[in-house]
Amino acid sequence: MEISEILLMYVKAFFVGGLICAFGQILIMKTQLTSARILVGYVTAGVILGALGLYKPLIDFAGAGATVPLTGFGYVLANGAIEGAKSDGLLGAFTGGVIAGAGGIAAAVFFGYFAALIFKPKMKT
């Protein structure tokens, strides 16, 4: 892979991930939605777009710029549920998303705990 291809890959990931985050920031500033509702909306949007087959082309284009935000987590959940339903039926539809997302969830828990050990967490007042 040439340096120009790598650079283009980084630019696409930064641009798409930045657009997703900028849209969330606009929602925070211009609406009465709480951050939690926006985050749930992002996951739900990823699930819906993933189930409709519309999120995969974005991942193919932007790579980590599309998989790292919460919409990517929603996509993983939807994709896992679909694959689980294909292999294990109705039970797989419920367990497939959790199995597919387990690595990301475990990493988030581990690194959150690790950060809490290094820094001094405080309650927000």
Give per-residue pLDDT as tens, 30-70. 999 998 999 999 999 999 998 898 999 999 999 999 988 88
List alpha helices for the chain, DSSP H: 3-30, 35-51, 55-62, 64-67, 70-88, 90-118
Task: Answer yes or no: is 96 within a domain.
Answer: yes
**Domain around 57:** 3-118
Establish if 123 belongs to a structural domain: no
The pLDDT of residue 120? 82
Residue 38, in any domain of the structure: yes
Q: State the Cα–Cα distance between residues 110 and 95, nearest whole angstrom.
A: 22
Within a domain: 46: yes
Total structural domains within the chain: 1
Residue 97 has pLDDT above 80, yes or no: yes
89 or 125: which leads in pLDDT: 89
